[in-house]
Structure 1
Amino acid sequence: MKTYKLISALAVTVSSTALFVAAANPAFAQQDTSAQAADAEEATGINAIIVTGTRRTDRTVADSTVPVDVISGDELLNSGTTETNKLLNQLVPSFNFPQPSLTDGTDSLRPATLRGLAPDQVLVLVNGKRRHQSALVNLNGSVGRGSTAVDLNTIPPLAIERLEVLRDGAASQYGSDAIAGVINIQLKKGIGGRAQATFGKYITEMEDVGQVDTVSLTTGLSDNPVITYTGEDRKRRDGDTYTFASNFGLPLGDSGYVNLTAEYKDRSPTNRSGPDIRRNYFNAGDPREATFNRYAHRYGDGVSQDLNFFVNGGIEFSDSAEFYTFGSYGIRKGNGAGFYRRSADVRNRDWAASTTTFVPIYADGFLPLIASEIVDISAAAGLRGDMSGWDYDLSVVYGSNRLDYEIQNTVNTSLGGAVSARQFDAGGLRSGQTSINLDMRRDLDIGIGQSVSLAVGGEYRNENYKIVPGELQSYVNGPFSAAPYNAAGGAQVFPGFRPANATDVSRDSFAGYIELDADLSDSLTMQLAGRYEHFSDFGDTINGKAAARYEIVDGVALRGSISTGFRAPSLAQQSFATTSTNNVGGVLIEVGTFPVSSPVAVALGAQALSPEKSLNLGGGVTFTPISGLSITADYYNIKINDRITLTENLQGTDVLALLTAAGVTGVSSARFFINGIDTRTTGLDIVASYRVPEFGLGKFRVSVGYNLNNTKITDRRVFSGFTAQRLFARQESYRLTDGQPKNKLNATLDWDYNNLGMTLRTNRYGEVFLPSGFSTSANNSNIALTPGAVPGDIFLSPKWITDLEFRFKPVESVSIAFGANNVLDVYPDRLPFGTVDGVSYGLNNSFLPYSSQSPFGFSGRFVYGRVSIDF
């Protein structure tokens, strides 16, 4: 903790120093930022040179054979949020970033998706180099369940020069993961910089969530209190968020540069829980029932303290050689809450105090917290230039992600209240990646076409994954885990990783590729690419791509692509293990997630995971009818075979029989990863932007984007007698196909006039389907039943979310902004609870009023202010 406070102080010091430098050098600030602004406008228009999807050095957005969106760093800064994932959710129609809660480590490291596919089916590059994935496996009821993802929130928006989103399959060019597309983040390398401070908080009124007025006492052994309400919705003022960031670039001699970014962010928790209408205390008539805090649950954003550093530098040794380097260090301390354990909850019973009378360990109950510390490191170095007519780029990149869990304000009930600690080291996860790349390119003069570019290259990559056990009390089954007490073992809410779960695995891969990109005439461009890759754990894969663009008339062009792709199963999916022990009839049995190579999984029919394989088809049209106006429409069809899914919890007499026959005992329920399904995703992206010619009212820039997306499961695997429904049931099936909006529209208006500016942005998020999980109907798991066919199915209606920001400059180098995200304070639909229209939804939704699958979260209006100084 002392180290973290010291580093936090350093970040604030860096920002303060930058502010001082800016104030001391206003002339320098004015000169540099005006030039950068002009460059930024040119760098994101239709004539912007792109570096994603091609290895040519002169390909622009307008003449690309595949769709590429270019987002400037300034666009990322005109918002109240300072999370890169949230910003992309606002700006890219096919990008989705739900903000789940009560999902363990996912509360602190939330995944995002592109084109409705999984978080690990989009490749993230930084400066064109592969970014490492996080160590976390998303397991607990969130979009992207079973996946690992890149943590984009470790990259400060202030460090980004521009961001390119390639919306097309590109595994034949970049390797594994690039099925949905590629996000390439280009870091700043300019001279000068900016320092800024942002503060915001939620000022909101929770839609359809009442404020408690009075609570009656209980009278019987099982009744709930009667609650009356004030008649007003609950008001919240929370989630205070401070962000201090600075970016500055310095020259290195006559031909070099170094650009540094530091960001410190401190976010307080939010709570959007409704009132818990259940009884809290064991004894009837307990007077504390009337004064107990009915909002004791915490449902929303957790605590998060982030510190991120980025460096980007380079220096030319000669006209034909440049050394470059970039890297990052990030640390995040966060926590997420679990379910509140009520005073009368059996998980709060102190058997050591009395085996006959209910004695609670925490008198009023307790809210367990899953605290996490995430350390993310990356370092890259390379040499590029030209030699004998070839452009070359030789690089090495290392990245690692470390996640450690500490479970707080909890207890190991099986040890008894006097013995058990209240805080536990639950162990952690580690992942690492090292890549060595050699890329070479040259122009060919072969008498065909106007210009032909040939690129060849190779890659070596090493990956590793580890699970580190927690301390003994975090997972041990104490004396009260046996009958007749049957108390749960391990730390409540998150039992620690056991020594038996410890994992240390690695693999290597080797790849080679070739790419041809040719302008065959003024109107015809073609691109061909092929890639061979060998993985030490599953073997070979070969993929290819062909794309073309044909300009029918000036300003109107057709383009299309066909490609095959793959995603290698992550080491986490192959090796993740976590188990807990339950007492069933006085017998301790194991329940958990098992690696595919474990005796448990093998006995149940698991096989070694193979790569996901894709076939991507795309076709579109581009219009540039007048200067400043660009319209593109692109259709996509993505067929993925052998998608990796996490099975349901497999249990029952047939499971026990299979395990017994294989000599495995003491296990009653198991789940593991399988190549479980085939899917087809189809959709349409429409993107339009217009830079209005300047006139007396200043500069206007309008952009509109629309995504239409549909995913279907086309085939399911069965083995060992398990039906497809038992392996991947209705709730998870529809979370994958219908758990994200099938359509999304965003529109942005930017206006600048002298020292004034404004950004108005709105997003419409389409319908989301939540399959029934509350009704007692046996149809809940029937995968054959369509949405709406089961009592208790819920549809979240479409919502418009509008953001508004005003900016002004009291002097040229200082900008002051204020605004609100979700200015109209819109919430997702309130979830039903109790018995409604004959369907029993249970009582949990009384205190969990909104779905975690809401594509825009459920926090309400966020009001903010920002001060920036350019220098």
Structure 2
Amino acid sequence: MTSRLSALLGAASAIALFGAAPALAQTAPEADPNDIVVTGTRVPNRSRLDTLAPVDVVTSETLQQRGTTEFAAALSQTVPSLTFARPTAVDGTDSVRPATLRGLSPDQTLVLLNGTRRHASALVNVNGSIGRGSAAVDLNAIPTGALDRVEVLRDGASAQYGSDAIAGVVNLRLKEASSGGGASVTYGQYVTTVETARGERDENDGQTVTASAWQGLALGSDGYLTLSAEYLQRDPTNRSDYDPRAAANGAVTARAGDPEVEQWTVFANAGKPLGNGWEAFGWAGYQDRQSESAAFPRLSDNVNNVAAIYPDGFLPKIGVDSQDVSAAGGARGQLGGWDAEISLVYGRNALDFETRDSLNSTYGSASPTTFDSGSLIYDQLVLGADFSQAFEVGLSGGPLNFAWGLEQRWETYKIEAGQPESYNRGPLGANTALAGGAQGFVGFQPSNEIDVDRDNFAAYADVEIPLTEKLTVEGAVRFEDYSDFGDTQTGKFSARYDFTPAFALRGSISTAFRAPSLQQSFFTSTASVIQDGAVVETGTFPATSVVATALGGRPLEPETSTNYSLGAVVRLGRFDLTVDAYKIDIDDQIVLSELIRNPAVLGPLGVQAARFFLNGVSTETEGVDVVGRYRLPTEAAGDFDFTVAANFNDVSLSTDLSPTLFARQRILTIEEGTLATKVSASADWRLDQWGATLKATYYGDVLQPGSTAASDYSTGAKTVVDLEGRYRLTDRVGLAVGVDNVFDEYPDYVPASLNSNGVLGFPYYSPFGFNGRYAYARVSLNW
């Protein structure tokens, strides 16, 4: 281990010793059924404290005892190593916001739904946000009310689950109920004082209404059908600074903050015994999300403003209609002595872009103000077969468990062009001072249209052997063959030794990989500009295109990694503690290049500037996760549940790419743009019909780098306190009121010297956002 990891382990040990002290005299509690996990192990009825790798278990109840009703945000408030930033002014990423685990890229975490691979979003993050260049799963496409629990495996798991599981696995498990139900309505808004570099103002915005309900229905005498629905309407927030430009007259002209959102989601999950030990199962979900964010403002004196349309200038809006579909069906039962499960899972995400309150200046006063700017579509079909069986082989620790399986996956990716005015140069296009296409978000052109596909086959084997009552080992291997780049193999070895019922050590070493996504391989978006009197293109090109190849581009290869982990589990009565150190070495990481201007190479191709995806970055991530919990039941004062959770993380990068291809800003974003330290402490209290939760989370400093050191700024180290109180009017009706960010904490504002237009009041790399205090109330009903 390096000195950095040693320092992290020292900090973790201090927390562990501090947290363990009050628990030594307690007796062991009964096993909590909420602690049983299925992620990272194929042995049934194993608790999170008995696993060979660290797994966080987050119940639906925990997620719903938050002010935010945004699933990814609520999950990041609960899992220490998961972060959910709030990017703004970065086009579609404002609407489909990615989460990161252990500071790695959003697409290096595999997301499962009921144990099966979840489809990614069609969006590629191509602007200056965390996760630039990634196409990640949209966690917010799953409503919290549809979930029973979430399991987060914090360990490399490609040998068990396939591509993307470099940082770990998030497994979303849907409710399975044949009776009962519930509903809730939550209303909240930001009540905050905004202190930017150029002034202070009060804001009451971001009004959010969320209504959700679920119902369990019986299918005959032994089956279940669980239905859930959610509706969300959220007004935008604005945390821009005052605009110092003369035409702005000192007003706030931009809108940087959360986008406006209206969405509705429905899910159904069903299971029905078929006889002879077999059960049919399936689920389906649909979400429609209408989101609108803002681009940079165009003032009245902007060369691309048309005074006849917008005499006072205009603020372009980017509308994204995200339609997300998923459906699955299958059967599980006994087949020749094996526990078998066969499933077919389909997922599709379509994003339709619309540029609003805008214009194409090359059309003058005849320009439309609303544009159909095109679509991105991704879908995936997965056929899987999994088998497992326990074999009595005379081991003192119990039966050997052997699992194996096969998987076939098909993927497609499409780009569809927008209306001609969204990308064309109109009648005034000969004027080189005017930008062609819709201002704020240029539409996809016919030359950008693609329709591509690929398939891959996978086979795996996984054996878990309890060699003795104290020592258990596990080995897994996986083979995958992709139609576009060939095959890859991964493996994993894990072990756990229980010295006593109170103390165990666990560790693993594994190799993992992430296949280049179709989005990374084929995404293209260009705009037509004038150069030397000729129309040329500038933008993003596929790595195998003529343009990228001329600049050195090659077909993308998979990212590969080696993961190491070593941890300890402590159980002392009502207290439990896990401390897990990890090291993740990634090679051939895929990144998006800088925008390259090389007239000698690009000029003959009719291109002014180009960027493309390429392999070429290696990272080393080291860290420690610490999770401690202490439960204290009392007769007079009620029941208390205390939790301390922390993640210490360090990322370093090396590359042979020149600064022309991959510059300082991109390197520092990976190394210092995500949290190095996150520590949370929470207390949950219940007494009769009363309840309350108090939580404080410390977020370390995060850098938002610029092209030079002089243009860097950072968030500062901050502590955010959340408080919620609950009261049950009856056994069925409950009320809750709360405040997230009680003390109205903000990241450090962007200095005025680095914010010449006032757009970005605060760093959008901030791991806790930059909206300030949020007050809310919730009414819930159970039956």
Name the TM tier (shorter chain): over 0.9
User: Alpha-carbon deviations, 1:292-334, whole Å to 9, x = none?
Assistant: x712211111110010111111011125100001121000001
2:247 corresponds, among 263, 280, 290, to 280
Q: Distance in 2 between matches of 1:183 and 1:279?
A: 49
* Partner-residue secondary structure (3-state), 2:93: helix
Is 1:204 aligned to residue 215 of structure 2?
no
Tell me, yes or no, if the aligned pair for 1:126 and 1:186 is still in contact at 8 Å: yes
* Partner-residue secondary structure (3-state), 1:106: helix
* Partner-residue secondary structure (3-state), 1:481: coil
Amino acid at match of 1:362: Y
2:458: which partner in 1? 511
1:101: which partner in 2? 88
Task: Report matched runs for 1:473-512 at 5 Å.
Answer: 473-483=421-431, 485-512=432-459
Q: CA shift at 1:588, angstroms?
A: 2.3
1:734: which partner in 2? 668
Q: Distance in 2 between matches of 1:319 and 1:810?
A: 46
1:805: which partner in 2? 724
1:79: which partner in 2? 66
Is 1:675 aligned to residue 599 of structure 2?
no
1:630: which partner in 2? 576
* Partner-residue secondary structure (3-state), 1:657: helix
Q: Distance in 2 between matches of 1:94 and 1:716?
A: 29
* Partner-residue secondary structure (3-state), 1:87: helix
Amino acid at match of 2:254: H
Q: Distance in 1 between matches of 2:424 and 2:309?
A: 18
Q: Distance in 2 between matches of 1:341 and 1:43?
A: 57
User: Alpha-carbon deviations, 1:340-384, whole Å to 9, x = none?
Assistant: 100000011x4xxxxxxxx56410000000001000000001100
Q: CA shift at 1:103, angstroms?
A: 0.7
1:117 corresponds, among 104, 109, 115, to 104
Q: Distance in 2 between matches of 1:554 and 1:54?
A: 20
Is 1:43 aligned to residue 33 of structure 2?
yes
Amino acid at match of 1:296: T
Task: Report matched runs for 1:45-194 at 5 Å.
Answer: 48-190=35-177, 191-194=179-182
2:289: which partner in 1? 332
* Partner-residue secondary structure (3-state), 2:495: strand
Task: Report matched runs for 1:574-723 at 5 Å.
Answer: 574-626=521-573, 628-651=574-597, 655-659=598-602, 664-717=604-657
* Partner-residue secondary structure (3-state), 1:811: coil
Tell me, yes or no, if the aligned pair for 1:344 and 1:360 is still in contact at 8 Å: no
1:861 corresponds, among 762, 773, 782, to 773
* Partner-residue secondary structure (3-state), 2:548: helix
Residues 245/76 of structure 1: CA separation in 2 closer, same or farther (3 Å cut) = same
User: Alpha-carbon deviations, 1:398-442, whole Å to 9, x = none?
Assistant: 00000000100100001111x211110000100000000000000
Tell me, yes or no, if the aligned pair for 2:232 and 2:263 is still in contact at 8 Å: yes
1:852 corresponds, among 764, 768, 775, to 764
Q: CA shift at 1:41, angstroms?
A: 8.9
1:463 corresponds, among 411, 422, 428, to 411
1:447 corresponds, among 377, 381, 394, to 394
TM-score, normalised via structure 2 length:
0.94
1:354: which partner in 2? none
2:279: which partner in 1? 322
* Partner-residue secondary structure (3-state), 2:521: helix
1:238 corresponds, among 172, 182, 205, to 205
2:16: which partner in 1? none
2:26: which partner in 1? none
Residues 842/192 of structure 1: CA separation in 2 closer, same or farther (3 Å cut) = closer
* Partner-residue secondary structure (3-state), 2:670: helix
* Partner-residue secondary structure (3-state), 1:148: coil
* Partner-residue secondary structure (3-state), 1:574: helix
Residues 433/822 of structure 1: CA separation in 2 closer, same or farther (3 Å cut) = same
Is the deviation greater in 825-834 or in 474-483?
Answer: 474-483
User: Alpha-carbon deviations, 1:30-52, whole Å to 9, x = none?
Assistant: xxxxxxxxx999233xxx32100
Q: CA shift at 1:582, angstroms?
A: 1.8
Residues 703/842 of structure 1: CA separation in 2 closer, same or farther (3 Å cut) = closer
* Partner-residue secondary structure (3-state), 1:86: helix
Task: Report matched runs for 1:358-373 at 5 Å.
Answer: 359=307, 361-373=309-321
Tell me, yes or no, if the aligned pair for 1:380 and 1:396 is still in contact at 8 Å: yes
* Partner-residue secondary structure (3-state), 1:344: coil
Aligned-residue identity in percent: 44
1:252: which partner in 2? 219
Tell me, yes or no, if the aligned pair for 1:40 and 1:72 is still in contact at 8 Å: no
User: Alpha-carbon deviations, 1:547-584, whole Å to 9, x = none?
Assistant: 00001222101100000010000000000001012223
Tell me, yes or no, if the aligned pair for 1:414 and 1:488 is still in contact at 8 Å: yes
Q: Distance in 1 between matches of 2:710 and 2:760?
A: 20
Bigger Rg, structure 1 or 2: 1
User: Alpha-carbon deviations, 1:809-868, whole Å to 9, x = none?
Assistant: 11111000000111111011011113xxxxxx3513x34210111111100111000000
Residues 500/40 of structure 1: CA separation in 2 closer, same or farther (3 Å cut) = farther
Amino acid at match of 1:860: G
Residues 851/41 of structure 1: CA separation in 2 closer, same or farther (3 Å cut) = farther
Q: Which segments of 5 or more consecutive residues in structure 1 lack a partner in the other structure?
A: 1-38, 212-232, 282-288, 351-358, 718-723, 774-779, 781-789, 835-840
1:762: which partner in 2? 696
Q: Distance in 1 between matches of 2:759 and 2:372?
A: 29
Q: Distance in 2 between matches of 1:692 and 1:522?
A: 30
Q: Distance in 2 between matches of 1:570 and 1:94?
A: 24
Amino acid at match of 1:42: D
Tell me, yes or no, if the aligned pair for 1:209 and 1:234 is still in contact at 8 Å: no
Task: Report matched runs for 1:827-842 at 5 Å.
Answer: 827-834=746-753, 841=754
Q: Distance in 1 between matches of 2:462 and 2:196?
A: 56
Tell me, yes or no, if the aligned pair for 1:434 and 1:461 is still in contact at 8 Å: yes
Q: CA shift at 1:208, angstroms?
A: 4.1
Tell me, yes or no, if the aligned pair for 1:612 and 1:644 is still in contact at 8 Å: yes
Q: CA shift at 1:519, angstroms?
A: 1.6
* Partner-residue secondary structure (3-state), 1:153: helix
Tell me, yes or no, if the aligned pair for 2:255 and 2:759 is still in contact at 8 Å: no
Q: CA shift at 1:445, angstroms?
A: 1.9
Tell me, yes or no, if the aligned pair for 1:343 and 1:360 is still in contact at 8 Å: no
Tell me, yes or no, if the aligned pair for 1:759 and 1:806 is still in contact at 8 Å: yes
Q: Distance in 2 between matches of 1:531 and 1:759?
A: 43
Q: Distance in 2 between matches of 1:199 and 1:328?
A: 25
Give the paired residue count: 753
Q: Distance in 1 between matches of 2:304 and 2:95?
A: 25
Amino acid at match of 1:732: R
Q: CA shift at 1:210, angstroms?
A: 5.5
Q: CA shift at 1:808, angstroms?
A: 0.2
User: Alpha-carbon deviations, 1:50-96, whole Å to 9, x = none?
Assistant: 10001111322121110001111110110111111101111111111
2:24: which partner in 1? none
1:300: which partner in 2? 257
Tell me, yes or no, if the aligned pair for 1:395 and 1:436 is still in contact at 8 Å: yes
Q: Distance in 1 between matches of 2:593 and 2:125?
A: 14
Q: Distance in 1 between matches of 2:53 and 2:576?
A: 15
* Partner-residue secondary structure (3-state), 1:670: strand
Q: CA shift at 1:702, angstroms?
A: 0.9
Q: Distance in 1 between matches of 2:736 and 2:611?
A: 50
1:870: which partner in 2? 782
2:6: which partner in 1? none
Task: Report matched runs for 1:523-602 at 5 Å.
Answer: 523-602=470-549
1:750 corresponds, among 654, 664, 684, to 684
Tell me, yes or no, if the aligned pair for 1:406 and 1:423 is still in contact at 8 Å: yes
Q: What is the CA RMSD across the aligned residues, in angstroms?
A: 1.5
